[in-house]
Amino acid sequence: MTWPILFLATPALFLASPWLFLVALLVDLATGVRRLRAVRVLGMVLTYLALELTGMVVGALLWVLTGFGLGLRTASSQRIHYQVQRWWARRLFAAFERWFGVKLELDNSADAFGDETRLIAAARHTSYFDALVPVVILSQHSARAPRHVLAEELRWDPCLDLYGGRLPNHFVNRANTNRANEAAAIRRLASANDDNLIIFPEGGFPTPRRSRRAFEKLRETSPERVERLPLGTLLPPRPTGILAMLDGAPDADILFVGHRGFERFASFGAIGRNVPFDSPVDVKVWRVSADEIPGTDEDKLAFIDSWWAKIDRWVGETPNP
């Protein structure tokens, strides 16, 4: 459904863009909104559509060049697809910086990187855009390709659907009650190669309702986790995916990724109210060596919970001015 809409709507919107920008400017002037919020949002939307269309056209060309799809799984095809995916992610984040004034401030990258050991990035997830944070960080500091565990709903994005399907990633169907099958798929993903891995253990954006429901469930199933997860902001990590990933990649270090500032991206209304963003997004990473990770699933989960509580405390601190 989304592919034909993209190919039909994007050229039409670009042809109409001079008039659309004029209308956006008039809206900003009429509402007394300073700093051109409507203009900035329109510019971001058009840039996003242009990147999506470019990615799809390149994907179609790659399909032809790989023998009409017969060679999509070859090593050279996979490398090229990853390079396109990395370019798309970097350009999209650069558009956030340009149109929305987003600026990442990475606190301690020098301490967390320096060798090519395989990494599992376990990242906080609080908005539409922070999924790009671990991709951007890893692409700057590691030559290994990232493999993702993503929500099935992201397949509505044409480029994520296309490249996510052609590259070894896993899309989680959150409506699937068979956790064993999902865990097995993630374990296979982690053990099939030596690439970096990215997962968002919370499984969704934190909201008061989700937090309440998550802790109500934990009180019934794992009351000991409630005691060791005094979270004020983050959701408790879901164990199935992260434990399967650790099981499939026992040689990998863990890179915990925390950030504060993306809360302003939690909804489209919040984005419109906050653009442009005056204060930076603080990002901090903590790296834990594979030999420091406990052996049993129970101990691993307690280990992950302790780090999640640490990230939650850091998020709640007042950033440096």
Model pLDDT for residues 133-160, shown as the tens digit of each residue: 898 888 888 888 899 998 888 889 999 9
Helix/strand number for the chain, H first, E second: 13, 7
Asked, for residue 71, whether it belongs to a domain, the answer is: yes
Asked, for residue 256, whether it belongs to a domain, the answer is: yes
Tokens of 172: 């989680």
Domain membership of residue 309 as a residue range: 2-316
276 cis-preceded (ω within 30 degrees of 0): yes
For residue 176, pLDDT beyond 50 = yes
In the chain, % of residues over pLDDT 70: 96
pLDDT for 167 equals 93
Distance, in Å, from the CA atom of 220 to the CA atom of 226, rounded to the nearest integer, reads 10
Query: b vs e for 221-237, b when ≥16 Cβ sit within 10 Å of the residue's Cβ?
Result: ebeebbeebebebbbbb
Q: Is the Cβ–Cβ distance between 164 and 171 less than 8 Å?
A: yes
For residue 320, pLDDT beyond 60 = no
Asked, for residue 321, whether it belongs to a domain, the answer is: no
Q: Is the Cβ–Cβ distance between 202 and 238 less than 8 Å?
A: yes
Asked, for residue 300, whether it belongs to a domain, the answer is: yes
297: domain CATH number? Answer: 3.40.1130
pLDDT winner (highest mean) among 85-89, 104-108, 229-233, 302-306: 302-306
pLDDT for 109 equals 57
Model pLDDT for residues 36-92, shown as the tens digit of each residue: 889 999 999 999 999 999 999 999 999 999 999 999 999 999 999 999 999 999 999
Number of separate domains in the chain: 1
For residue 113, pLDDT beyond 90 = no
pLDDT for 299 equals 95
Distance, in Å, from the CA atom of 73 to the CA atom of 167, rounded to the nearest integer, reads 8
Average model confidence (pLDDT) across the chain: 89
pTM above 0.85, yes or no: yes
pLDDT for 321 equals 43
Model pLDDT for residues 16-48, shown as the tens digit of each residue: 999 999 999 999 888 876 688 899 999 999 999
pLDDT for 177 equals 66
pLDDT for 106 equals 81
For residue 110, pLDDT beyond 60 = no
| DSSP conformation class of 146 | E
For residue 206, pLDDT beyond 70 = yes
Q: Which residue has the higher pLDDT, 275 or 178?
A: 275
Asked, for residue 177, whether it belongs to a domain, the answer is: yes
For residue 209, pLDDT beyond 70 = yes
